[in-house]
A and B are shown apart, each in its own frame.
Chain A
C-alpha cells in the first residue's frame, strides 16, 4: 500500500484536448478519495493515468514515493475495476480472479488460497467455477472487485463501478465497497457521477471541472463550505438554490439582498463567514441557500427573512417533502452553472426563466408539511446558512 501523488499533472490528448490540467492532489496511504465532476471533466483520464493506461503529458505522478510516469501498468502494481467489469468471458470466476496472480508467478496453492478467501469475503464461493455470462450483474460486479482484492495491490482504482447496477443493488454494493476498503485499508481512487456515492463513500471528495481540480475536501466540509459557485452548484442533490441578486446597503445594519419585491437581510454569522460581501454592496452577488436550510415561518420570523412564491410541485419522498416554489429571484446563469448543472436542456430552461425574472427554488420540509400545488407559500430562510459568491470569477466571498 502506498500514497498516490499528482504533482502538477497534465494530460493533453494528441488531438489537443486538455483533459486534465495542472492537477495537484496528494492521496494518503489508505485513503479513499472520490473523483467527481460533470461528464467529460477528466475523471477517467486522471484515473487512467494512475493505472498507466494513458501517458502523462506533463508533471509527475508518484505512487509510494516512486515516480511512475514511465512505468507500465504491470510495474505499477495497481488494480482497477472497470465500469463494464471487463471480466474475461472465456475464463471461470476462479481464473478471472487468479489471472493476475498467475501472471505474477505466484504458486498455485497460494493463488487458490487467496482466490477462495476473496470469494468468501464477497460471497462468491458457490460461483467460482462459473463463467461470467452465467452470473447476474451484481455477481459480476463482485467478481470484478474480487479480481482487484486478491492482488493486494498498492492502490485500487475504480471507474464508476456501480453505474451498471440497478438502484437497490447499487445502495448495497456502495456500503459493501466502503466497508471493504476500510477493512483492507488499501489506498483507493474512485470515480463517480453519483452524488450519494460521492458524499457517503470516501474520506475525501475531489471535484473536477473541465480538467481543473476545484476543491478536494472531506464530504461534509465540501458540502458546508464550497469554495466556488461550481462546487456549490454541483455538490448536493437536490442542488443548492443559487440566485443572482442585488446587494443593497442598509444604514445601521448589514447589507440586504433584493429578491424581486422582497428582501433578505444578510445576518451577522454570514457576514463573518463571507466578509468580502461588504465589498459588493451596490453590486450583484450570487447567493445560495440549500433546500434543507428553510423552515415554515411563524409570528416570530422577522421581516426580511422569508421568500414568497407559488407552489409548483410537491414531491413527497416519504422521509421528506421537496417543494418547488416559483420565486421572483433570478437564477445564476454563468459558465460555472452550466457546468454544474451538466444538462444542456435544464440549463436552457434556467436561462429562460432568468430572462423572465423568476426561478424555481427547491425546499426540503418535514413530510407532515403538505402544501398544495398553486398555493402561495411563504418560506423561511435560514439566512445564517447562506453562501455568497462573486458572479465574475465564481469564488466564494470569504
Chain B
C-alpha cells in the first residue's frame, strides 16, 4: 500500500515539481522507503539528484547573467575608449584606470560629485528612515480622528507617478529660492509613501501590551518608540534603509532639474553630462559607473545581514 502510494508520488513529478524538488518537504518522507519498494526509492533519489543539479545550473546561469555586465564595467574602466571598442574585445583588465580617473576628475570634478552623492543619499536615508518609521508608527499604533483618511491619502500618493510631481515641485523650490541647494535635492521625496506603508505594516503586528508596559514603567512616547518598538522591527528598518538609499543614489531626474552647477551634481547627473559631449569618453564613464556601484554594494551587504539576522531572531516573542 505504502510503496504504491510512494510510487505514485515518485512518478508524477511533471507538475512543476522539478524546480522545487530539492526543497519539498515530501521528499524526506520518500527516503525511508520499504525494502520491497527499493527500485522506486532509488528512482526517487535519482530524480532528486537531477532536480538539484538542474537547479544549480539555472542558478549559475542567473548569476552569470547578472554579474557579467558588472564585470564588463570593471574591466572597461581600466581601458581607454579605444581599448573598450577594440576587436577582439579586451577581456582582461588594462592599465588605464588611473588615467580614466584623472580624466573623470578633470571633466566633472568627480571627487566633489561623489561627496555630493554620498551626502544627499546619506542624509535622505537618515531623515527618511526617521520620517517613514515615525509616520508608520503613528498610523499603526495611535488612535486619532481621521487616521483612515491619512493612511488612504498616503497610499494614493504611491499611484502618482514621480515625474508628474517634478514640475510643481520645481516651481515650489524656485519660489522659496532653493534651486541648486542640497536641501532641494534631499527633502522633497523624504516622506516616502512606500516606506511609510512598509513600516506601518511591520508596526501593526507589534504587541500593544509591550507599549503599555513601557508606558507604565514611566517611558515617554519618544523613548518607547526608539527603545522598545524600533528594535523589534529591525528587519523592516534594514529593508527601508536599502530602499531609500538606492532610490536616492540612483535618482536622476529630480537632481538633474534642481541641481544646476557642476559642483552640486550627483553621480548620475555628472555621468550623464559626459554623454552629451562630442567625443564621449567611455573609459571615464565606465570608471565613474564602477565607483558608483561600490556604496550600493556596501549598504546592501551591511544591512542585508541585519535584515536576515532580524528575520531569524524572532525578536518579538515575549
Instruction: Give A contacts to B, CB under 8 Å.
Output: 51-53, 72-74, 78-80, 82-90, 99-100, 103-104, 132-133, 140, 147
Contacts and interface: CB of A to CB of B under 8 A. Distances in A.
B314 A133 contact: yes
B237 interface: no
Contacts, number: 68
Given A74-B215, A103-B219, A104-B218, A82 B209 contact: yes
A89 B212 contact: no
Interface residues of B, number: 21
A99 B217 contact: yes
B210 A86 contact: yes
Given A132-B318, A133-B314, A88 B218 contact: no
Nearest to B143: A14
B318 A85 contact: yes
B209 to A, nearest CB: 4
B213 A86 contact: yes
A51 B314 contact: no
A90 B232 contact: yes
Contacts of A140: 318
B217 A100 contact: yes
Interface string B193-220: 0000000000000010110111111111
Nearest to B209: A86
Interface of B: 207, 209-210, 212-220, 223, 228, 231-232, 314-318
B286 to A, nearest CB: 45
A53 B314 CA distance: 27
A72 B212 CA distance: 12
18 contacts: A51-B212, A51-B216, A52-B215, A52-B216, A53-B212, A53-B215, A73-B215, A73-B216, A74-B216, A79-B216, A80-B213, A86-B207, A89-B231, A89-B317, A89-B318, A104-B218, A132-B318, A133-B315
Contacts of B207: 84, 86
Contact of B223 (A52, A72, A87, A103): A103
A103 B222 CA distance: 13
A80 B217 CA distance: 8
User: Of residues A52, A83, A90, A140, which shows the largest number of chain B Cβ atoms within 10 Å of its Cβ?
Assistant: A90
Contacts of A103: 217-219, 223
A73 B210 CA distance: 14
A34 B311 CA distance: 41
A104 B217 CA distance: 9
A85 B228 CA distance: 15
Contacts of A51: 212, 216
Nearest to B230: A90
A21 B259 CA distance: 64
A84 B216 contact: no
A86 to B, nearest CB: 4
A6 B62 CA distance: 69
B230 to A, nearest CB: 10
Given A84-B207, A86-B209, A103-B217, 11 more contacts: A51-B216, A74-B218, A79-B216, A80-B216, A82-B212, A86-B210, A100-B218, A103-B218, A133-B315, A133-B317, A147-B217
A170 B111 CA distance: 67
User: Of residues B210, B219, B314, B318, which shows the largest number of chain A Cβ atoms within 10 Å of its Cβ?
Assistant: B318
A78 B212 CA distance: 12
A89 to B, nearest CB: 5
A197 B1 CA distance: 54
User: Of residues B216, B314, B318, which shows the largest number of chain A Cβ atoms within 10 Å of its Cβ?
Assistant: B216
Nearest to B211: A86
A147 B214 CA distance: 11
A163 to B, nearest CB: 13
B144 to A, nearest CB: 11
Nearest to A99: B217
Nearest to A85: B318
Given A53-B212, A103-B223, A87 B217 contact: no
B19 to A, nearest CB: 35
Contacts of A100: 217-218
